[in-house]
């Protein structure tokens, strides 16, 4: 009986593993770069386009490999110019990526998981837990799809792992995706233009600093352990002192800073005394601070602070010479703001008011 060969996704390989695979079929290693550059530089989706490969090799590859892409289900544009892309995965799950225009830059916020298992109390993405991890190709393909849609290879200038999911809880896939995104034969982003945000998975933060060179953002969200324990269950495993020690250990190239994100929630963590404590905590670090006024969603008990409280909190930090920016979240009107991405919204394709 003839065996049907199952085709593999060319985008699931690393440079190394593609070399090994080709080697097993007697194909020389210099083909790796050629093939990957067709895929990631030229945006090829078929081997027949790869005109500098022999006809026989093209045929051989087409029979055994395919080049995956995400299915774009919906694109919504916000009043502020940000765009939310809804992608359908091969198993019918949905993920979102958000493209944010800002001072000549286009930052793409990518997802690393469907849902999230960290259970932060203020976050809609995590409300229903983790559905599944994304594969490396599903992460990279968010960038490819947006680039394809915009029609220019340089259209996306920065990438942040701040979409759905906790990237360090899907460590191997995220690192492989980062290698493809920053690789010379990959999407060629400088590591300076890629950053990853974590709720504070301390052991993986150490690994990350060793394995790749990208920017680090930490969702701190509270300046004392009691408050952080209540908001972010992961703090019970890795409390603030451990988290900040990991930040101090993180190998940061000269002049790079760690970005600390702080979601401001009325009556929970927004008092001037919280700001003072935060300033003290971050003193030993090369830190800048993003203040994100809480984005409300249906069914949440939390509220966004009044404008006066937000500005007063920021002033405490500015007075202590921190760079502290208030993130007026983009895309609130299309449910694309921080913490508003969620599988459930994806599944009915609807955005809620932010
Ligand atoms: N899991 C990672 C990456 C997701 S980033 C992390 O938590 O860092 C998502 C960011 O949005 C985090 O900084 C989180 O603190 C913030 N966030 C979550 N829910 C929010 C909400 N409702 N309003 C404002 N910011 C929120
Ligand atoms: Fe997960 Fe981050 Fe949301 Fe926490 S804030 S539930 S870690 S996505």
Q: Which CATH number fits the domain that encloses residue 81? A: 3.20.20.70
* Spatial contact of 217 and 261, defined as CB atoms under 8 Å apart: yes
Residue 42 pLDDT exceeds 70: yes
Query: 275 — alpha (psi -120 to 50), left (phi > 0) or beta?
Result: alpha
* Spatial contact of 329 and 288, defined as CB atoms under 8 Å apart: no
For range 4-29, the mean pLDDT: 94
Residue 99 pLDDT exceeds 70: yes
Tell me which of 66, 84, 109 is where a domain ends.
66
For range 57-72, the mean pLDDT: 97
Residue 264 pLDDT exceeds 60: yes
User: How far away, in angstroms, is 296 Cα from ligand 1 center?
Assistant: 12
Looking at the DSSP bridge assignments, the partners of residue 75 are: 85
225 three-state secondary structure: helix
Is residue 185 within 6 Å of ligand 1 at its C-beta?
Answer: no
Of the listed ranges 177-181, 228-232, 334-338, 342-346, the one predicted with least confidence: 342-346
166 plus 282 within the same structural domain? yes
* Closest-approaching ligand to the CA atom of 195: 1
Output DSSP code: residue 350: P
User: How far away, in angstroms, is 39 Cα from ligand 1 center?
Assistant: 32
* Ligand 1 atom at minimum distance from 262 CA: 15
Is residue 220 within 6 Å of ligand 2 at its C-beta?
Answer: no
Task: Residue 212: name the closest of 162, 186, 175, 171 by CA.
Answer: 175
109 plus 60 within the same structural domain? no
Task: Provide the pLDDT for residue 330.
Answer: 67
Task: Provide the pLDDT for residue 4.
Answer: 55
Q: What is the distance between the alpha carbons of residues 122 and 112, in angstroms, rounded to a whole number? A: 19
* Spatial contact of 64 and 46, defined as CB atoms under 8 Å apart: no
Task: Provide the pLDDT for residue 171.
Answer: 98
* Ligand 1 atom at minimum distance from 112 CA: 3
Residue 339 pLDDT exceeds 70: no
Q: What is the distance between the alpha carbons of residues 293 and 291, in angstroms, rounded to a whole number? A: 6
47 plus 106 within the same structural domain? no
40 plus 134 within the same structural domain? no
* Closest-approaching ligand to the CA atom of 167: 1
User: How far away, in angstroms, is 37 Cα from ligand 1 center?
Assistant: 34
- Sign of the Cα torsion 119, 125, 183, 176 reads positive
* Ligand 2 atom at minimum distance from 119 CA: 6
Contact partners, residue 140, CB within 8 Å, separation at least 6? 11, 177, 180, 181, 186, 187
Q: Show the beta-strand stretches assigned E in 78-212.
A: 83-88, 94-102, 105-109, 113-115, 130-133, 158-161, 194-198
Residue 286 pLDDT exceeds 70: yes
Longest Cα pair distance anywhere in the chain, in angstroms? 77
Q: Specify if 3 maps to a domain.
A: no
Task: Provide the pLDDT for residue 92.
Answer: 96
State the residue range of the domain holding 21.
Answer: 10-66
CATH of the domain at 23: 1.10.150.530
Residue nearest to atom 8 of ligand 2 (CA): 165
User: How far away, in angstroms, is 125 Cα from ligand 2 center?
Assistant: 7
Residue nearest to atom 19 of ligand 1 (CA): 339
For range 170-194, the mean pLDDT: 97
User: How far away, in angstroms, is 40 Cα from ligand 2 center?
Assistant: 30
* Spatial contact of 308 and 266, defined as CB atoms under 8 Å apart: no
> Based on the structure, what is the number of domains in the chain?
2
Pocket test for ligand 2, best of 166, 169, 294 (most atoms within 8 A of CB): 166
Give exposure, 139-155, as e/b (b: 16+ Cβ within 10 Å).
bbbbbbbbbbeeeeeee
Tell me which of 29, 49, 66 is where a domain ends.
66
Write down the mean pLDDT value for the chain.
92
* Closest-approaching ligand to the CA atom of 340: 1
Q: What is the distance between the alpha carbons of residues 47 and 345, in angstroms, rounded to a whole number? A: 36
For range 35-47, the mean pLDDT: 97
204 plus 240 within the same structural domain? yes
Is residue 125 within 6 Å of ligand 2 at its C-beta?
Answer: yes
Residue nearest to atom 3 of ligand 2 (CA): 123
Task: Provide the pLDDT for residue 104.
Answer: 85
Residue 197 pLDDT exceeds 90: yes
201 plus 225 within the same structural domain? yes
Q: Give the residue with greater pLDDT, 136 vs 2.
A: 136
Residue 349 pLDDT exceeds 60: no
Q: Show the beta-strand stretches assigned E in the chain.
A: 8-9, 65-66, 71-77, 83-88, 94-102, 105-109, 113-115, 130-133, 158-161, 194-198, 215-219, 258-264, 287-293, 324-326
User: How far away, in angstroms, is 198 Cα from ligand 2 center?
Assistant: 8
Q: Give the residue with greater pLDDT, 337 vs 213.
A: 213
* Closest-approaching ligand to the CA atom of 233: 2
Q: What is the distance between the alpha carbons of residues 182 and 176, in angstroms, rounded to a whole number? A: 10
137 plus 219 within the same structural domain? yes
Q: What is the distance between the alpha carbons of residues 170 and 114, in angstroms, rounded to a whole number? A: 11
Is residue 263 within 6 Å of ligand 1 at its C-beta?
Answer: yes
113 plus 151 within the same structural domain? yes
152 plus 189 within the same structural domain? yes
43 three-state secondary structure: coil
Answer whether 0.85 is exceeded by the pTM.
Answer: yes
User: How far away, in angstroms, is 42 Cα from ligand 1 center?
Assistant: 34
* Spatial contact of 210 and 251, defined as CB atoms under 8 Å apart: yes
Q: What is the distance between the alpha carbons of residues 36 and 330, in angstroms, rounded to a whole number? A: 34
For range 191-196, the mean pLDDT: 96
Residue 244 pLDDT exceeds 90: yes
pLDDT tens by residue, 119-177: 999 999 988 899 999 999 999 999 999 999 998 777 899 999 999 999 999 999 999 99
* Closest-approaching ligand to the CA atom of 234: 2
Q: Give the residue with greater pLDDT, 334 vs 74.
A: 74
Q: What is the distance between the alpha carbons of residues 105 and 258, in angstroms, rounded to a whole number? A: 20
């Amino acid at each position: 009986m003839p065996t049907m060969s199952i085709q593999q996704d060319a985008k699931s390989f690393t440079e190394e593993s593609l070399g090994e695979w080709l080697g097993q079929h007697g194909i020389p290693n210099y083909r790796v770069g050629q093939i990957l550059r067709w895929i990631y530089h030229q945006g090829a989706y078929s081997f027949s386009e790869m005109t500098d490969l022999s006809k026989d090799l093209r045929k051989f590859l087409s029979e055994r490999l395919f080049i995956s892409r995400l299915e774009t289900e919906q694109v919504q544009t916000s009043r502020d110019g940000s765009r939310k892309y809804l992608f359908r995965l091969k198993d019918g799950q949905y993920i979102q990526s958000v493209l944010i225009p800002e001072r000549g830059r286009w930052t793409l916020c990518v997802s690393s998981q469907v849902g999230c298992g960290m259970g932060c109390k203020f976050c809609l993405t995590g409300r229903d837990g983790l559905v599944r991890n994304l594969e490396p190709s599903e992460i990279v393909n968010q960038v490819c799809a947006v680039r394809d849609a915009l029609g220019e290879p340089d259209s996306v200038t920065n990438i942040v792992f701040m979409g759905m999911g906790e990237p360090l809880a899907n460590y191997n896939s995220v690192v492989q995706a980062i290698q493809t995104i920053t690789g010379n034969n990959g999407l060629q982003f400088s590591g300076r233009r890629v950053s990853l945000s974590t709720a504070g998975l301390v052991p993986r933060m150490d690994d990350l600093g060793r394995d790749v060179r990208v920017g680090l953002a930490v969702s701190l969200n509270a300046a004392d352990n009691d408050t952080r324990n209540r908001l972010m269950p992961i703090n019970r495993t890795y409390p603030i002192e451990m988290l900040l020690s990991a930040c101090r250990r993180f190998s940061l190239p000269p002049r790079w800073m760690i970005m600390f994100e702080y979601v401001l929630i009325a009556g929970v963590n927004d008092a001037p005394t919280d700001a003072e404590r935060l300033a003290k905590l971050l003193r030993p670090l090369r830190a800048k601070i993003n203040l994100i006024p809480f984005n409300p969603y249906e069914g949440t008990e939390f509220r966004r602070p009044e404008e006066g409280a937000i500005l007063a909190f920021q002033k405490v930090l500015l007075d202590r010479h921190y760079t502290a920016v208030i993130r007026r979240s983009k895309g609130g009107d299309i449910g694309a703001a921080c913490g508003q991405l969620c599988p459930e919204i994806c599944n009915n394709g609807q955005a809620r008011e932010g």
